[in-house]
């Protein structure tokens, strides 16, 4: 089976595109496989896109998107009609959903920029960029730290970066070179996807998700809480909705 080209990796702002149908699979739901896709499949703490795939033969509602062994599965149902193999189709992403997810995701990386600038020595861990209760986690400790002052410092510095309107840019590179531009490179990077760093100005983050093209699009970052859980520190945040 031909692997799916991940077009969203090249251009975060692409909200519609054309693709070729490779397969229509009937399981519990209908699954559409395309030669390439702008739909983001869930992963890296970011939810999947939703939207529409359509042509003159049918209209397919994309309710879920998953990445499995190099193949992107567009899962959902036909509103009418169907597709044939080799059909050309138009792909339309739910723009409001994508933009919210990109803003939340990018806000998490901006918080990391602030934490790096404050020289806290925390090591980035997992992150959750869903609209319901987003957070970023670090290995470190809060001993002898005024949490309320730190919360204010991180929020103010994060919004300073946002107000500087820093542009973002994807760069593809081998994992071995990532340490030249990234403060932290995880031991594990997802298999089957190109190795990519997203530059927030001069600050690099290894990431396969979608991002704002300019930090000003985040609008406002709010730090809700900083909490120590054993050796992990969780920074809960939100953005202006």
Taking only the tens place, the pLDDT of each residue in 41-64 is 998 899 999 999 999 999 999 999
Query: 226: pLDDT confidence band, cut at 50, 70 and 90?
Result: very high
| Spans of all domains in the chain | 5-93, 98-239
101 — pLDDT class (breaks 50, 70, 90):
very high
Indicate if the pLDDT at residue 102 is higher than 90.
yes
pLDDT more than 70, % of the chain: 98
User: Which class does domain 5-93 fall in?
Assistant: mainly beta
| Confidence tier at 191 by pLDDT (50, 70, 90) | low
CA distances, 46 to each of 41, 102, 125, 223 (Å): 9, 8, 15, 19
Q: What is the pLDDT of residue 28?
A: 84
Q: What mean pLDDT is predicted for residues 192-219?
A: 92
Q: What is the pLDDT of residue 194?
A: 73
Q: Which sign, positive or negative, has the C-alpha torsion 27, 193, 48, 14? A: negative
- Beta strands (DSSP E) in 10-94 are 16-26, 30-34, 36-37, 51-54, 58-68, 71-81, 88-93
Query: Which pLDDT score, from 0 to 100, does residue 192 have?
Result: 63
d(CA 128, CA 108): 9
Q: According to the model, what pLDDT value does residue 189 have?
A: 67
Report residue 27's pLDDT band, with 50, 70 and 90 as the boundaries: confident
User: Which CATH architecture describes the domain 98-239?
Assistant: 2-Layer Sandwich (3.30)
pLDDT at 1 over 80: no
């Amino acid at each position: 089976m031909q692997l799916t080209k991940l077009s969203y990796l090249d251009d975060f702002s692409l909200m519609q595109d054309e693709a070729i149908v490779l397969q229509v699979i009937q399981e519990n739901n209908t699954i559409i496989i395309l030669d390439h896709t702008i739909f983001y499949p869930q992963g890296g703490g970011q939810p999947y896109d939703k939207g529409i795939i359509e042509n003159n033969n049918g209209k397919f509602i994309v309710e879920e998107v998953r990445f499995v062994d190099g193949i992107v599965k567009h899962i959902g149902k036909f509103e009418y009609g169907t597709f044939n193999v080799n059909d050309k189709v138009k792909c339309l992403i739910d723009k409001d959903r994508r933009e919210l997810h990109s803003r939340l995701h990018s806000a998490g990386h901006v918080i990391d920029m602030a934490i790096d600038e404050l020289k806290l020595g925390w090591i980035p861990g997992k992150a959750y960029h869903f609209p319901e209760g987003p957070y970023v986690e670090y290995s470190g400790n809060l001993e002898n730290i005024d949490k309320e002052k730190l919360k204010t410092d991180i929020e103010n510095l994060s919004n300073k970066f946002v107000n500087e309107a820093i542009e973002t840019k994807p760069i593809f590179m081998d994992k071995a070179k990532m340490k030249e531009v990234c403060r932290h490179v995880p031991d594990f990077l997802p298999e089957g996807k190109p190795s990519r760093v997203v530059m927030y100005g001069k600050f690099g983050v290894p990431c396969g998700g979608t991002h704002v093209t300019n930090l000003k699009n985040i609008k406002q970052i709010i730090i809700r809480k900083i909490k120590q859980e054993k050796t992990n520190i969780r920074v809960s945040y939100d953005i202006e909705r």
